[in-house]
Amino acid sequence: MIHRPFDPATIYQNFANFGDWQTRANDGLTNVRTAIAGHQKPDFKSEIYGALKPYLLEWFFGKCAYCESNVDATGWGDVEHYRPKRKVEEEPAHGGYYWLAYDPSNLLPSCQKCNQGQGKMNHFPVVPSTRAFNELAVPSEVPLLLSPYLHRPGEHLIYDFDEIAGEPTGFVKPKPGSEVGRSSIDVYKLNRARLVELRLEAQRATINSYEIAKNKGRLDEFNRKLNALTEPYIGARVSALRDYIEWTKRRLESDLAKLPDV
């Protein structure tokens, strides 16, 4: 996961009919509010928030906002509601954040693995005393799930590195004391088996590419590619490379200390 700040002017700059879309979204929300006021089940129009999918995918380089897998390689992908619109698993009395159903700041691109089945679905853990049951209370709510719009994942997640072997493991861990990191790994299933395998392959490939680029004097080209952020699992790649360089530095310093003083 990487931080991608919410910037609607940039995200939707190529959406020629964004103004018309906003009108449709406002009308859709009015219908939802009317249904709820009448104690009826609201009809959420997936075609409204679904229209944002290509622009969301472009902003996230075609990757899932949570696990950074390429979305269109294995499925259609979802427009995911960070705060769920219908209900909240952790709070049965909560009717869902229906007022955010069409709010672009609440919408993210997600792969089916992160969002459906055993993934996020309608989960949204928060610090219990801060749970928002209405629109006015949202600013004081303290989520326990990472959002690429709101958080810098590196402040909550650590990609595991084997200090003995000097290589990454593909696994991600919460930073010590980070309940946000722990909950995010659990809810988004960030250590599911196949994802760990793919992440590890990407980490190893990045370290390999770094060594080749260093030996051939092409580090500038290598760094430009890495800084473009377009590759899948870029958060894991950068973390693994940083750990590998530090591990190599410590090993060389240890070797240096063993040389005779002549």
**207-259 per-position pLDDT tens digit:** 999 999 999 999 999 999 999 999 999 999 999 999 999 999 999 999 999 99
Domain contains 2: no
Whether 90 has a pLDDT exceeding 80, the answer reads: yes
Domain boundary among 118, 151, 184: 151
211 in the same domain as 146: no
Q: Residue 116 has what pLDDT?
A: 82
Q: How far apart are CA 38 and CA 152, in angstroms?
A: 40
| Tens-place pLDDT, residues 117-150 | 778 999 999 999 999 999 999 999 999 999 999 9
38 in the same domain as 103: yes
Q: How far apart are CA 102 and CA 95, in angstroms?
A: 16
161 in the same domain as 118: no
127 in the same domain as 92: yes
Average pLDDT over residues 58-78: 89
158 in the same domain as 147: no
Domain boundary among 97, 124, 151: 151
Domain boundary among 96, 116, 151: 151
Q: What angle do CA 25, 52, 86 make, to 5 degrees?
A: 60
28 in the same domain as 145: yes
Q: Where does the pLDDT of residue 77 fall: very low under 50, low under 70, confident under 90, or very high at 90 and above? A: confident
96 in the same domain as 192: no
Number of domains in the chain: 2
244 in the same domain as 190: yes
Domain contains 262: no
Q: How far apart are CA 147 and CA 187, in angstroms?
A: 12
Q: Could you tell me which residues come within 8 angstroms of residue 67 by beta carbon, excluding any fewer than 6 positions away?
A: 1, 111, 113, 114, 188, 190, 195
136 in the same domain as 39: yes
The encoded tokens of residue 77 equal: 């992908």
Beta-sheet strands, E only, within the chain: 78-81, 107-110, 157-162, 167-174
Domain hosting residue 98, numbered range: 8-151
